[in-house]
């Protein structure tokens, strides 16, 4: 499992197993408006600005060329062969299992454990997109080494990179929420994020809880020593029990402030921010082969029951095992 596919493996997959019907409808219905890109050698997608009038032309290309990797744009264009006449772009979040900042598996590539972690992160982000921001038409694609969340809600399709950046920071908890108020005696009081169980403070608290509970102790957090990290790990069960105030008092308010600053930075690494703000990004084409790990890029119908080691393994890998 997770071995690189050979040219013969790719040929076998695209001629015998790959079907155009595996591409989700939201891409098939707009093939003529998307830019396609390909990697034929394993060196990256250098065959760009490809355009297909319909499914028939794309099918012929895929079966004949059996590419190392295939991509399509998140944007729709009037002239996709030039990337001109931009119409709209999906809002995308890229969660790569090998880049999760708090991996407990410590594997070199990807494994079942870090793929499960990626799936947990995807579920958290979708909950926030739906419950806090009210977004709909959300699709999940298993990319081969993680997941792509692709949002096609009409309200977001024409937004610029700055709006997407603000949404990104909200859903992953990239900024520390600050609250203060003046009491009846005129004194200024502050509230910690965990004291506000609504809106963005709740999102930040949930993401911070996830990060702290998944720390393995080897992470580098600015101004946090190894000794302090050990103390954080020793008492982090208090956070699991939602006893944030007690946890803060034990490690000390100043250390807690430094920890939270570090956690906010780790939160920003839960997804690849460059993908979210890029309006002209190309992403792996669902149904195509991720040849580096011999997994099928798969449209996920039900995230909870989806198992990539069962549902995204090509036949040539099953035959070898």
Catalytic residues: 94, 96, 272
Angle, CA of 290, 5 and 16, to the nearest 5° = 85
**Secondary structure class of 263 (helix, strand, coil):** helix
Which DSSP letter does residue 285 get? P
If we measure between CA atoms, which residue out of 288, 309, 318, 290 comes closest to residue 14?
288
Residue 244 sits at the vertex; the CA angle it makes with 266 and 259, to the nearest 5 degrees, is 30
Provide the Cα torsion 288, 291, 292, 295; round to 10°.
60
C-alpha to C-alpha distance for 161 and 167, rounded to whole angstroms = 10
Closest of 319, 295, 246 to residue 141, by C-alpha = 295
Residue that the structure tokens 């105030």 belong to: 245
């Amino acid at each position: 499992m997770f071995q690189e596919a050979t040219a013969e493996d790719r040929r076998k997959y695209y001629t015998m197993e790959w079907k155009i019907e595996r591409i989700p409808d939201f891409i098939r219905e707009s093939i003529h408006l998307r830019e396609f890109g390909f990697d034929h050698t394993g060196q990256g997608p250098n065959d760009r600005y490809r355009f297909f009038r319909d499914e028939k032309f794309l099918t012929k290309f895929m079966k004949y060329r059996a590419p190392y990797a295939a991509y399509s744009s998140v944007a729709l264009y009037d002239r996709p062969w030039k990337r001109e006449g931009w119409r709209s772009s999906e809002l995308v979040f890229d969660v790569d299992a090998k880049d999760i900042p708090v991996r407990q598996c410590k594997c070199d590539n990807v494994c079942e454990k870090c793929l499960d972690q990626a799936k947990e992160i995807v579920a958290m982000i979708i909950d926030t997109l739906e419950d806090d921001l009210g977004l709909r038409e959300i699709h999940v694609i298993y990319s081969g080494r993680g997941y792509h969340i692709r949002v096609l809600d009409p309200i977001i399709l024409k937004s610029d990179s700055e709006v997407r950046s603000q949404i990104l920071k909200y859903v992953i908890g990239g900024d520390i929420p600050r609250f203060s108020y003046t009491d009846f005696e005129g004194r200024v009081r502050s509230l910690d994020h965990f004291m506000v169980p609504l809106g963005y403070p709740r999102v930040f608290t949930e993401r911070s809880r996830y990060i702290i509970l998944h720390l393995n102790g080897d992470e580098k957090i600015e101004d946090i020593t190894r000794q302090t990290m050990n103390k954080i790990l020793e008492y982090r069960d208090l956070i699991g029990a939602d006893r944030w105030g007690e946890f803060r008092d034990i490690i000390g308010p100043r250390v807690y402030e430094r920890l939270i600053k570090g956690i906010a930075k780790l939160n920003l690494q839960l997804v690849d921010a460059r993908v979210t703000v890029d309006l002209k990004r190309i992403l792996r084409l669902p149904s195509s082969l991720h040849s580096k790990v011999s997994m099928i890029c798969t449209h996920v119908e039900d995230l909870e029951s989806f198992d990539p080691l069962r549902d995204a393994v090509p036949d040539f890998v099953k035959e070898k095992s």
